[in-house]
Structure 1
């Protein structure tokens, strides 16, 4: 079973020069803190809305 043809010369010398300073830091945008959300809706209203959302998906 073949996976198609390829040029073996493309498989040679696959050394890639990289600079670690150009990479992405995984924890660069971590945030510690709190989120406050004010709503005029009651807990029951919010739960009803959540139920409606779950029913439609």
Structure 2
């Protein structure tokens, strides 16, 4: 066996039911076409400074 033994009964086809329609997820149900923009009014350096402050605060806790 090489990597260890296993119970062959666990390897048989298990009945998981046929309720796929009930548990299926439609990933396109809420798709939207459009565009999103944000205006921060801050420069990249300012935003990086804010990020650094947040990181320092979490390190102190």
TM-score, normalised by the number of residues in structure 2: 0.47
TM-score, normalised by the number of residues in structure 1: 0.49
